[in-house]
Structure 1
Amino acid sequence: HLRPDVVIIGEATKNQLCVGHRGRVEVVATAVGKAAHASQPHLGKNPHYSLAEFLLRLQELSMSERPPFKATVAPTLYFTDQQSANVIPGKAWVHLDWRTVPGETPEVVLKRLREVGPGLRFSIPVEELTSYTGMRTQMKKVRAPYLLNAQHPVVSKIREVLERVLGRKVDVGYWHFVTDAGYFAEQGIPVIGYSPCEEELAHTYQDRVSISLMEEALASYPALVKAIQG
């Protein structure tokens, strides 16, 4: 069983330091109606209207804040149980991407959604993961938020080392997206983000790494390891 003293996450930071991000909870909101032929809609109950009313109310929902973070929620994928365009579906569901602030648990998210859509069903999807060894496990689609104090001794030490190696000021900030850092933070392990990649380019067709930033990182990582080892 390994327990690191410090974790450095190589997610995009443009060679600055990141010490926190929001979490993520994926929720499926389901409206159950009654299927019918579209030529006789009065014989069915159209779930689209229930979801539409819910989404309009969701748009006005006041979101939690914990500086420097504010929670957000965004409807993303939409599905029905029908393939034909001339049939009212019996069920429709939408996936919600809820970005949580520290202290905002999945249970809190579900409670708030049920208040907005009392007639809907809400669930957190479970995905099956397989490791390179073939080990399988199931995990809910939940990623934990984390926030490390910018004045934490580990942050100060790493920042001092980077500024000495790079010969410039190194800023401390936060990611917009979620990373694996939350898993370590939940165990009480200090986590720092540092990488030459650029967050605004991540997962886009322009995703690339600057040669100059890569050269900085190549000089920085060995110095960080030595500093952490003491």
Structure 2
Amino acid sequence: MARLVAREMSDLEYDVVEQDGAGNVVGTIRGGGGPVLMLNGHMDHVSPGEGEAWKRGGPFSGVLEAGRLWGRGATDMKGALAMMVHAGGALKRAGVTPDGDVVVAAVVMEETGGLGTRYMLKHGRRPDLCVIGEPTDGNVRLGHRGRLAVWVTFRGKAGHASMPRLARNPNYAAARFLAKLEKAVAKLPTHKVLGPSTISPTLMQVDATSSNVIPATTKVFLDWRSTVERPADAGRWLKKNVGGRFEIDLPAKDYRSYTGYEEKGVSTTQSGFLTDRGHPLVKRVSAAIRAASGRPPRVGIWKFATDGRLTSAAGIPTVGYSPAEESGCHVTDESVEVVKLKSGLEAYARMAAFTTNS
């Protein structure tokens, strides 16, 4: 995929095409001394699941049918990435020199934690403005909630399932916790723009592997979408509003890209971000979308997390735009309308071409 993107950028006569140590492919269209605009999209995608479940030629067919491009990544987000790459080519063909450099970044490992964008920021590639190409239904996104990845552990005493009185089954403690949590989530804070925080129990694990063994530990994973809560708040909030005896852990992970670049002990907590609605970048992106699509875009937030949290945390004004539908992320028979890809290409090109007042 990286070789394909780099070759396409070169064929489109980008001024500079580079591949960095993490495997990101970065193409640059030289401009004047004005603000540097980055169009950021990722090359990776989530698993397609069972291929037999796909009805339109399989997850990697790329079939064009019913006015749509079908396949894993069409929406999230190879469709938008292709438009970003060709937006740079459109500037070259039109002989347009933007006020500042336009950087198209095809990054690695967004779906697994953001290694690619972190690498760029760590190694000094910091644009003045950033547009993230995650699906937005053709609208503008100002940010999203954060995400706390929380494991809650309940400890008991292992024993034979035929003699439960000699054991202490932690599954009951977990069950009581979940029943109380279902009611307690109503007490989570609500942000006037980002909306309510939410907690969704998603995974359960026990240390036993035999069905006739009462486990010694039960673990429940909480996907906590946060608005104002910090990692340090998680345990206190759960103790106060749910109660019970448990331990919590906000894990860290190690990451390795296909080039061999490694990150060790990276927190799985993801920060949220929110760009001010009145920022000039919002106005510039909105104007480009309107010119390309013939309608004013709505301005809102994403439900899910993006690499925008990383660029925003680095002090870079960041918004999101893609012609693809948010509801099409990570689904079987993923697809995107071809006509929307065409308007998306024009919108990205207009964003890139006119940065004077951004």
Q: Percent same amino acid at aligned positions?
A: 34
Q: Distance in 2 between matches of 1:141 and 1:16?
A: 28
The residue number in structure 1 matching 2:205 is 79
Alignment equivalent of 1:67, drawn from 187, 192, 195: 192
The residue number in structure 2 matching 1:16 is 139
Q: Distance in 2 between matches of 1:155 and 1:211?
A: 25
The residue number in structure 2 matching 1:157 is 284
Q: 1:157 offset after TM fit, Å?
A: 2.1
The residue number in structure 1 matching 2:230 is 105
Q: 1:229 offset after TM fit, Å?
A: 5.7
Q: TM-score, normalised by structure 2?
A: 0.62
Secondary structure in 2 matching 1:93: strand
Secondary structure in 2 matching 1:26: strand
Q: Distance in 2 between matches of 1:35 and 1:80?
A: 11
- One-letter amino acid matched to 1:172: V
Secondary structure in 1 matching 2:335: coil
Gaps of 5+ in 2: 1-123
- One-letter amino acid matched to 1:134: G
Q: Given that residues 154 and 190 in structure 1 are in contact (C-alpha distance below 8 angstroms), is that contact kept between their aligned partners in structure 2? A: yes
* Structure 1 residues 77 and 44: alpha-carbon distance in aligned structure 2, compared to 1, 3 A threshold: same
What is the aligned length?
A: 229
C-alpha distance after superposition, 1:139-194 (max 9, x if no partner): 12111111112222211122123212332211111111111111111122111111
Over the aligned positions, Cα root-mean-square deviation in angstroms equals 1.4
Q: Distance in 1 between matches of 2:128 and 2:160?
A: 62
Q: Given that residues 11 and 193 in structure 1 are in contact (C-alpha distance below 8 angstroms), is that contact kept between their aligned partners in structure 2? A: yes
Write out aligned runs for 1:115-194 (5 A): 115=240, 116-137=242-263, 138-194=265-321
The residue number in structure 1 matching 2:149 is 26
Matched, 1:58 2:181: yes
Q: Distance in 2 between matches of 1:66 and 1:167?
A: 32
Q: Given that residues 177 and 244 in structure 2 are in contact (C-alpha distance below 8 angstroms), is that contact kept between their aligned partners in structure 1? A: no
The residue number in structure 1 matching 2:22 is none
Alignment equivalent of 2:163, drawn from 40, 53, 56: 40
Write out aligned runs for 1:216-227 (5 A): 216-227=343-354
Q: Distance in 1 between matches of 2:165 and 2:261?
A: 51
Secondary structure in 1 matching 2:324: coil
- One-letter amino acid matched to 2:212: N
Q: 1:64 offset after TM fit, Å?
A: 1.0
